[in-house]
Amino acid sequence: GENVEQHPSTLSVQEGDSAVIKCTYSDSASNYFPWYKQELGKRPQLIIDIRSNVGEKKDQRIAVTLNKTAKHFSLHITETQPEDSAVYFCACKPTGSNYQLIWGAGTKLIIKP
């Protein structure tokens, strides 16, 4: 079945610097790749997603890139701010599933002042 690996598990960056989190997946036919942000004590919330017919998507300071050949996708956060501190989860939708997302293990992002 589909498997998603997420790296790094913890990422510490200086405020104002960029952060990059990467996920690799195994099913080349996966076609939907969301990123969720979970602040401490809160629920996961979708921040950006990308479908397999697109290579990059941006929304202000965040962007997601997809490399279908290499089967990986990445979350990029520029000009990081204290409120970016959270756990970030990647996920993908495997072939043949209309209902299930396969989740990465999460990355704890720490923004140092």
By the criterion CB under 8 A, which residues form the site for other proteins?
Answer: 31-32, 34, 38, 42-46, 49, 87, 89, 93, 97-101, 103, 105-106, 108
CB of 79 to other proteins, least distance (A): 25
76 vs 108, beta carbon nearer other proteins: 108
> Can you tell me whether residue 47 is helix, strand or coil?
strand
Q: How far is the CB of 91 from other proteins (least distance, A)?
A: 8
Q: Least distance to other proteins from the beta carbon of 97, Å?
A: 6
DSSP string, 48-103: EEEETT-SEEEETTEEEEEETTTTEEEEEE-S--GGG-EEEEEEEPPTT-SS--EE
